[in-house]
């Protein structure tokens, strides 16, 4: 541990603002001096005690509330913890925080850094790294499915999957390395121990976990969908229809939308971040500098889109100027979008005109016809195919670690199935596979990774 991990810490553990209840939390060694200073007596472990929180003179009180003392190691952090539950006014909580710091000056009590309570829970083996990340994922969950999946990860479902794979890899490594260490025994592990079969089963199990992790990462992060097209094709109307609310201004005037309008919606529990953009037309056609800036921002959003909804107006198809504008947009689309499956042609205003093109999704943003088909297409583009039940929340780094594990297993399999396998290379690939798995739960983690993860937490968590 770093030296700072031995300091006792304190922070307001509830969100800023006013509320019925606010919590000040302290963690570390020798908190007895703080307990006596604020509570005036010893507290029964893990019992809620209603009492006044004493000011520095010991006679007046800052507030009255509930104090709970959790002796180590039976606490969230694994250290001695004190929680003070007071009225949730920001002034009251700051007074309590200042009083704790004053009382704990002799033991070096300091204000906690973001995520430091959960970091200590990880360092004291109360949580592994995947569970610690699930804490903030649960707080930040934007859909019910994401919240339920984060809860499963926090309870250890994801970690148990990883530990099972790790244990199987360790067993297989033991067989391979035993052959390397004792060649005179002539242990033909490939045949007698069914090492090839073990490796095949591990790989199949890993593939299943990787697929579920991709789904979990999708629940956490969602996809970015950009709606683009010429002015007045119905982009803002489509955003409003998908969101079920009047978020964007809709008028017959071309160029009404000057900047992006964003909204996150849910489709079967998957967050979809929909961005309505300024209508695209040539530089000469833009009416002013503001519209030109809006169009430039549209192209920037298109570049970073996971999926692009290219909106067409069925009522204007066949008009020379309109068709020329369509062709100009297609010519400027990023190759990764135009040549891949992330581009969706959406034919709007089907309520006012016949569908004139065979490809694309025909709909009416005005009546809602065709929206369900578009929602299904967005889920397909996202790669969503699993039911939220049984999924665990996952992050991009988890998926990346599982992919690297899969690559090392593939290289190990190439050696295992070779007529003349290089057992030392096979052993090394299995070791690298285990190390990649260990990054998920924190068995092999660099300090800079821990700093990056916990710095994203709020203070007090």
Binding-site positions read: 25, 83, 126, 232-237, 251-257, 276-279, 461
Give the three-state DSSP class for 56: coil
Q: Are 219 and 266 in contact (CB under 8 A)?
A: no
Alpha carbon 218 to chain centroid distance? 8
Annotated binding-site positions for GTP:
232-237, 251-257, 276-279
Whether the CA torsion 59, 62, 68, 69 is positive or negative: it is: negative
Q: Which residue, chain included where needed, has tokens 């549209």? A: 298
Q: Which two tokens stand for residue 69?
A: 């003392």
| Tokens representing residue 81 in the block | 């913890």
Alpha carbon 349 to its chain's center:
36
List 264's β-bridge partners, or say none: 273
Spell out a b/e string for 372-381, using b for 16 or more CB atoms within 10 Å of the CB, else e: eebbeebbeb
Burial of 336 (0-12, 13-18, 19+ CB in 10 A): exposed
> Measuring CA to CA, which residue among 326, 318, 321 is closest to residue 354?
318
Residue 263 phi, psi dihedral angles, 5° rounding: -155, 140
Q: What residues have CB less than 8 Å from 181, skipping those under 6 apart?
A: none
Query: DSSP readout, 357-391?
Result: -SSSEE--TTT-TTHHHHHHHHHHHHT--S-STT-
Bind-site residues for (6S)-5-formyl-5,6,7,8-tetrahydrofolate: 25, 83, 126, 461
Q: For residue 365, what are the CA distances in angstroms to 129, 234, 277, 301?
A: 44, 7, 16, 22
User: Which residues sit in the known binding site for K(+)?
Assistant: 232, 251, 253, 256
Q: Contact, 271 vs 283, CB < 8 A?
A: no
Distances (CA, A) of 244 to 120, 348, 372: 43, 17, 13
Burial environment of residue 435 by CB neighbours within 10 A (0 to 12, 13 to 18, 19 or more): middle
Binding residues for Mg(2+): 236, 257
Q: Tell me which residue of 175, 88, 119, 155 sits closest to 456, measured CA to CA.
A: 119
C-alpha–C-alpha distance, residues 370 and 293, integer Å? 32
């Amino acid at each position: 541990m770093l030296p700072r991990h031995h300091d006792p810490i304190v922070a307001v553990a509830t969100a800023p603002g006013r509320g019925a209840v606010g919590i000040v939390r302290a963690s570390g060694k020798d908190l007895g001096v703080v307990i006596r200073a604020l509570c005036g007596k010893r507290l029964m472990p893990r019992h809620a005690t209603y009492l006044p929180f004493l000011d520095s003179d010991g006679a007046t009180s800052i507030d009255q509330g509930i104090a709970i003392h959790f002796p180590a190691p039976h606490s969230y952090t694994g250290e001695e913890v004190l929680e003070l539950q007071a009225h949730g006014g920001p002034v009251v909580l700051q007074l309590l925080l200042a009083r704790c710091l004053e009382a704990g000056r002799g033991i070096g009590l300091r204000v906690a850094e973001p995520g430091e309570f959960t970091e200590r829970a990880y360092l004291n083996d109360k949580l592994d790294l995947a569970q610690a990340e699930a804490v903030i994922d649960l707080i930040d969950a934007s859909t019910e499915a994401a919240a339920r999946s984060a809860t499963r990860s926090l309870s250890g479902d994801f970690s148990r999957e990883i530990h099972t794979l790790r244990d199987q890899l360790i067993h297989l490594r033991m067989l391979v390395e035993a052959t390397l260490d004792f060649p005179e025994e002539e242990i033909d592990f490939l045949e007698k121990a069914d090492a090839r079969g073990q490796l095949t089963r591990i790989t199949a199990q890993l593939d299943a976990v990787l697929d579920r992790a991709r789904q979990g990462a999708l629940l956490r992060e969602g996809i970015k969908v950009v709606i683009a097209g010429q002015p007045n094709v119905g982009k803002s109307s489509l955003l409003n229809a998908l969101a079920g609310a009047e978020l964007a201004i809709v008028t017959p005037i071309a160029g009404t939308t000057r900047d992006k309008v964003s909204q996150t919606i849910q489709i079967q529990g998957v967050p979809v971040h929909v961005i309505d953009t300024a209508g695209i037309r040539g530089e000469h056609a833009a009416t002013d500098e503001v519209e030109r800036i809006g169009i430039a921002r549209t192209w920037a959003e298109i570049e970073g889109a996971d999926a692009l909804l290219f909106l067409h107006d069925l009522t204007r198809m066949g008009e020379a100027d309109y068709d020329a504008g369509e062709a100009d947009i297609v010519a400027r689309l990023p190759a990764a979008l135009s040549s891949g499956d992330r581009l969706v042609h959406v034919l709007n205003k089907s309520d006012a005109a016949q569908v004139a093109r065979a490809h694309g999704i025909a709909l009416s943003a005005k009546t809602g016809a065709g929206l369900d088909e578009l929602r299904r297409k967005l889920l397909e583009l996202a790669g969503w195919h699993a039911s939220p039940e049984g999924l665990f929340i996952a992050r991009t780094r988890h998926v990346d670690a599982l992919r690297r594990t899969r690559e090392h297993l593939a290289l190990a399999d190439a050696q295992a199935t070779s007529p003349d396998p290089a057992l030392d290379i096979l052993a090394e690939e299995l070791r690298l596979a285990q190390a990649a798995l260990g990054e998920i739960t924190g068995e092999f983690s660099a300090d800079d990774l821990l700093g990056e993860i916990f710095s994203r937490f709020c203070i007090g968590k």
